[in-house]
Amino acid sequence: MFRSQKSIISLLAILLLCDNGFSMNCSSAGSISSFGGHYYAITSSTLTYADALKAAVDDGGYLAVPDSSAENNYIKELVGGGTLAWIGVYDVNNMQNYCISGSDCVIDTSRFQTVLGGAPTFTYWGANQPDNLVDSVDVLNGTAMVEPLGEHWTVINGNNGYWSDEGNHADRNNNPVRYRAVIEFDTAPSCYVTSDPGSSLPTTGKFCNTSLYDSSSEIVTQGKTYQCLQDQYTNYYCPYGLAPATAQWDYKDGTSQQETGIDYTSMICNGTMINGQCVDTIENASYVTNLTCQTKSIACAPGADSCCHIDISCGSNSATVKYYDCCNPQSSLKKSVNVNDANAFLSGVYYQPYSGSQGKIICNSAGACSIYFQDAYCGGSAIGSPYLTNTFALNTSGEYICSDTGYVNGGSLSADPTKCYHTKPLECPSGYTPTGSSDPTQACSQTYTYYNYLCSGTTPQDGVYMPQITSGSSPISPTNNCKGQGYTCNEADVQPALVAGQWECSPFPCVGNSNMSPNGSVGVNDKNNNGWANDGSCSGTIRIFNGKGYGCRSWDLLQGLDGGGCCDESKVFGGLVSCTSNEKNLAGYRKNSECHYIGNYCSKEVNLLVGSMCVEKSDSYCCFNSELARIIEEQGRPQIGKGWGSADNPDCSGFTAAEFQMLDLSKMDLSEFISSIKTPDAAALKSSIQQNITSVLQSRGVGQ
């Protein structure tokens, strides 16, 4: 026999330190769901790519290979936001077309193949991926600091479904790189239960329960569950407890849609219209008197020799006066006077060519003209007194004229003839341009923008809301612009639906996966026990008697679990309830007395407008790889003040080496464990222990 109880425990701790406990099919996979005839699961822990490949095969599957956009999207949803996960696409040859610190990168997707063999038939690489990145610290002084260099394994992003290549990098905490893995199965694994939560309910549908409407208690009583239906307007409704909805006028804000129109108009006068003519400036006209004379030859005096006469020739408002007399040479032209304006006759036109005497022709305003002859003749002899005679007449007329260019007399416009008018063409109004159309009403046009106010959505009466204002200049639709005949239900979480031509309400709201809110994080924060590396050294933190968190549903309203549900071992092993693979595993651990009960908590609730309601209760446990490990954890934690966390977030981590050294094993009661051991004879016990020690040492390469 060994000398002390502590010696026995220490030896057993060494034997159990890197043991993962009993295994069963789907041991690496969490809850399994189906899509497109295949089955999928996410590993509960992070793994290197090599370990993920092995774990998938050990569980009877392979790393998932998305073959279509739909499958890729399903796997993305399975992975979830903020998470990366391994998939079965990798660079099997570890090609060396490296992207060194982000420069000289070659994007080569042809180096990747699937774990099933051959190139992928579908890919969804992200931007600049796959780049085969090598960080600057991955190679120092020509020596590779990681193995292999580059990025040769593919992860899917749970946010957007994009793929990227990943690898080991020396400056990153996650070295060697580890992620959870997506495992795909061609056929349903033996641990797949078709009635697992989430698999029996439609992923996009909704359901109702006859107790969900009662929020007066924290936990509702068991009700009957119905599949929700949809009416012709896609409104969901519970088919149970229907009653007429309440009619009311329904108002809501609409939307706007920009439109373009063309506006036509006539040309306008940018001034003043006077009898059909556009003018912009008016001035006074100038009055002009026009005279027209008679062409005539007049003798100097009655009975005078014909050699003395005056010839007058007339033109248009002009005249020429030629004077002849009898002096030598007789009848010769003595003077010719050109009159350019016949008006000059009003003030007198002088024709006398000799000095000392005067002769002129003058007319009065009435047009009667007289000639004043000279009073001396040739050598100075008198020819008689000058005389005035109405020898001929001027025809007089007057008019108003406009001398400025561009001006016309008002008379031509049937307007004031004493005025001058500046005319201008018609113009298009500001913002309009000429069209050249012969239709004066469409002589000008402009393009303008306006907004139609629209109403969308459904109403019980006619399927559309009618806008109260159809268009306007603002891009923002008026508030409550849409009006329709509406219906309402008394319950805030229920909408009316058209059932058999009538608008009905059920008191039971329709809920779906989007309303479900899982609580707790049992197992999510479990600590890894890195154990020993192949060379016998510890590659990470050693956790002695490390455990994992497990949960089982003790009550599930939507799945009909009560009376202990999947936490009742007898029901699980008897096949009386449909439970998940994790719940079945937990039942096995509990049967072997390897689990510590933490507590009961609400593991799922339905979110309604009026609040939330618990629809699932679960028990949480910390399970270890042996009964002894559980006993030491239960009796050792109080010694060092280490708790178990909470029911919804248990702490199942094993003791660190420092914590284990603090334990006083002599104070522990191991009677439960000892009583469970079948006492062998000393030789058999010694032989069994020696065989276990030899097996462990050989697996670590010691003593071979």
pLDDT digits (tens, 9 = 90+) for 67-95: 999 999 999 988 877 789 999 999 999 99
Domain boundary at 386, 401, 416, which? 401
Instruction: Please tell me the pTM assigned to this model.
Output: 0.40
Residue 484 lies in a domain: no
C-alpha–C-alpha distance, residues 594 and 278, integer Å: 108
Q: Give the CA distances from residue 394 to residues 98, 316, 317, 339, 366, in Å, rounded to whole numbers and listed in that order.
A: 116, 11, 10, 13, 8
Residues 535 and 510 in one domain: no
Q: Is residue 472 part of a domain?
A: no
Q: Is residue 600 part of a domain?
A: yes
210 & 156 share domain? no
The more confidently predicted of residues 31 and 183 is 183
pLDDT score recorded for residue 3:
36
pLDDT at 568 over 70: yes
pLDDT at 367: 77
Q: Is 265 inside any structural domain?
A: no
Q: Which of 492-506, 599-613, 674-688 ranks highest by mean pLDDT?
A: 492-506
529: number of Cβ within 10 Å = 21
Asked if residue 101 and residue 46 are part of one domain, the reply reads: yes
> Do 503 and 545 lie in a common domain?
no
Q: How confident is the model at residue 201 (pLDDT cuts 50, 70, 90)?
A: very low
pLDDT of residue 462: 45
Residue 13 located in a structural domain: yes
Q: Is the pLDDT of residue 697 over 60?
A: no
Query: What is the DSSP pairing of strand 225-227 with strand 206-209?
Result: antiparallel
The reported pLDDT for the residue numbered 221 is 47
Is residue 39 classed exposed, middle or buried when 0-12, 13-18 and 19+ CB atoms within 10 A define those classes?
buried
SS3 for 88?
Answer: strand
Question: Whole-angstrom Cα distance, residue 312 to residue 342?
Answer: 12
Total domains in the chain come to: 4
- pLDDT of the residue at 219: 41
Half-sphere CA count of 174, side-chain side, radius 13 A: 11
Q: Is residue 283 part of a domain?
A: no
HSE, CB side, 13 Å, CA atoms: give it for residue 42.
19
The secondary structure of 253-291 as a DSSP string is: --EEEEEEEEEEE--B-SSEEETTEEEEEEEEPEEEEEE
- Rounded to the nearest 5 percent, the helix, strand and coil shares of the chain are 15, 35, 50
Query: In the predicted model, is pLDDT for residue 704 greater than 70?
Result: no
- Give yes or no for residue 158 having a pLDDT over 80: yes
Confidence of residue 531 (pLDDT cuts 50, 70, 90): low
Do the bridges between strand 99-100 and strand 133-134 make them parallel or antiparallel, or are there none, so unpaired?
parallel
Asked if residue 313 lies in contact with residue 320, where contact means CB atoms within 8 angstroms, the answer is yes
pLDDT on residue 337: 92
Of 497, 515, 533, at which residue does a domain stop? 515
Provide the token pair at 416. Answer: 């004031």
Q: How far apart are CA 211 and CA 643, in angstroms?
A: 37
Residues 137, 240, single domain; the answer is no
537 lies in the same domain as 499: no
Say what percent of the chain tops pLDDT 90: 33
Cα-only R_g, the chain: 58
Each residue's pLDDT tens digit, 476-487: 999 999 888 778
What is the rounded CA–CA span in Å between residue 364 and residue 347? 8
Residues 565, 502: one domain? no
pLDDT at residue 26 tops 60: no
Question: Would you state the pLDDT for residue 419?
Answer: 93
Separation CA 579–CA 194 (nearest Å) = 9
Are 601 and 618 part of one and the same domain?
Answer: yes
When the pLDDT of each residue in the chain is averaged and rounded to a whole number, the result is 80
Query: Tell me: the pLDDT tens digits for 44-60?
Result: 778 999 999 998 888 88
Q: Note down the domain range covering 352.
A: 288-401
**Distance between CA atoms of residues 460 and 235, nearest Å:** 11
Q: Say which CATH number the domain at 73 has.
A: 3.10.100.10
DSSP notation for 450-503: EEEEE--S--TTTSSPEESS-EES-SSPPTT-EEEEEEE-SSTT---EEETTEE
Predicted confidence at residue 683, as pLDDT, reads 62
Contacts 24+ apart (CB under 8 A), 313-316: 314/342, 316/292
Using CA atoms, how far apart are residues 227 and 578, in angstroms rounded to an integer?
20
Give pLDDT, residue 684.
63
For residue 444, being part of any structural domain is answered with: no
Residue 103, in any domain of the structure: yes
Cα angle at 545 between 542 and 548, to 5 degrees? Answer: 95
Domain boundary at 352, 370, 401, which?
401
Clarify whether residues 336 and 384 are in a common domain.
yes
* pLDDT 10s digits, 572-589: 887 777 788 888 889 989
Confidence of residue 295 (pLDDT cuts 50, 70, 90): confident
Q: Distance between CA 504 and CA 333 in Å, rounded? A: 127
Same domain, yes or no: 160 and 68? yes
Reported confidence tier of residue 113, pLDDT bands at 50, 70, 90? very high
Q: Are residues 172 and 48 in the same domain?
A: yes
Asked which of 200-204, 312-316, 375-379, 388-392 is least confident by mean pLDDT, the reply is: 200-204
Tell me: do 98 and 238 sit in the same domain.
Answer: no
- pLDDT, residue 205, reads 63
**3-state class of 324 per DSSP?**
strand
DSSP state for residue 584 in the 8-state scheme = H
